Amino acid sequence: MRWNPGGESQDIEDRRDESGGGGGFQFGGLHIGIGGAIILLILSFVFKTNLFTLLSGGADSGPAAVRQPNPARDAAERPLVEFVSFVLDDTQRTWTQLLPEQTGKSYRHAKLVLFRDYTQSGCGGAQSATGPFYCPEDEKVYIDLGFFDELNRRFGAPGQFAQAYVVAHELGHHVQKLLGIEGKVHQMQENNSREANPLSVKLELQADCFAGVWAQSTQQRGLLEKGDVQSALGAASAVGDDRLQKKATGHVVPESFTHGTSQQRMHWFTTGLDNGTVTACNTFAQAQ
């Protein structure tokens, strides 16, 4: 992908070392000082119970050490931060133009939170293991940059445009929030729990399609290079429910799908890429 490094986006919220330098411990998102941790430890011995679980929502886990700043790692991640910044800004500029033109709705910028290991979001605790996600409550995308290494090494989806697809997909969820789609789907899921998973699949596939809409914009502006579309399709395929379940357990359970199959994800990304319109991404009008 053709892009120009240009520093860090104003819409990035960097929390990679959010707790560093202050001392203390982290419990389920709550920070307490070293003195408080020592008191809890002593009381745990006195009462013969793990009082740290009271701060971690009942999980039987001890204190987790606070992360410290890591200048060497920050420097190593700098090119990736600049690339994510470019994709974030470019995607949001695209939707700022397209959304009013195609839907009559104005676009409001989302924030993208960079973190390591764990942070708090408006939707609860965010952990690296959950992968990138969008929280509609605070309108922020959460990404641990280590996921991109996993995308390449573990899921076999290398390339910058694979990374760009991930960011554009999460911002697709933000577009759904602005259009009122996310809220309606959430209400439908609460009203009919049996449809919760099928509705989740339709929501995720639409976000894939919206990522494709942005991809068409980059294609029209000559930003795509040979192999970029295949890179994005590889990422979409790599995170299909069927592929992930087969890899993890050796078998596939379609009724448990929440994101769609590899084929479905590639199909809807391509639909957005070919058409470039919000209306073409109506996954709710078609049987999946």
- Residue 242's nearest CA partner among 258, 226, 231 is 258
Q: What are phi and psi of 7, to 5 degrees?
A: 85, -160
- Residue 92's nearest CA partner among 172, 166, 7, 207 is 172
For helices 146-153 and 160-179, what crossing angle results, to 10°?
120
First-residue to last-residue Cα distance in the chain: 31
Secondary structure class of 227 (helix, strand, coil): coil
Asked if 170 and 130 sit in the same domain, the reply is yes
- Rounded to two decimals, the pTM is 0.80
- Give the tokens for residue 75: 């420097």
Asked if 137 and 34 sit in the same domain, the reply is no
DSSP H helical ranges for the chain: 34-47, 71-103, 146-153, 160-179, 181-191, 196-220, 228-238, 241-249, 262-275
Asked if 212 and 262 sit in the same domain, the reply is yes
Domain count along the chain = 2
Residue 94 lies in a domain: yes
Asked if 168 and 223 sit in the same domain, the reply is yes
- Render 195-215 in DSSP notation, one character per residue: GHHHHHHHHHHHHHHHHHHHH
Which residues span the domain enclosing 44?
A: 19-65
Asked if 33 and 133 sit in the same domain, the reply is no
Residue 8 lies in a domain: no
Asked if 150 and 243 sit in the same domain, the reply is yes
Task: Give the count of beta carbons closer than 10 Å to the beta carbon of residue 165.
Answer: 30
Residue 14 lies in a domain: no
Asked if 195 and 246 sit in the same domain, the reply is yes
- The tens-digit pLDDT sequence of the chain (288 residues) is 888 887 899 999 999 987 533 333 444 444 444 444 455 455 555 555 555 455 544 444 444 445 566 778 888 889 999 999 999 999 999 999 999 999 999 999 999 999 989 999 999 998 888 889 999 999 999 999 888 888 877 777 767 888 999 999 999 999 999 999 999 999 999 999 999 999 999 999 999 999 999 999 999 999 988 888 988 888 888 888 888 888 788 888 888 888 999 999 999 999 999 999 999 999 999 655
Residue 120 lies in a domain: yes
Per-residue pLDDT, 226: 86
Radius of gyration of the chain (CA): 21
Residue 42 lies in a domain: yes
Cα-to-chain-centroid distance, residue 255: 23
Residue 5 lies in a domain: no
Asked if 51 and 88 sit in the same domain, the reply is no
Per-residue pLDDT, 286: 63
Residue 207 lies in a domain: yes
Asked if 56 and 176 sit in the same domain, the reply is no
Asked if 243 and 195 sit in the same domain, the reply is yes
Per-residue pLDDT, 151: 80
- 63's torsion region: left (phi>0), alpha (psi -120 to 50) or beta? beta
Asked if 230 and 250 sit in the same domain, the reply is yes
Contacts of 36 (CB under 8 A, 6+ apart): 24
Asked if 60 and 131 sit in the same domain, the reply is no
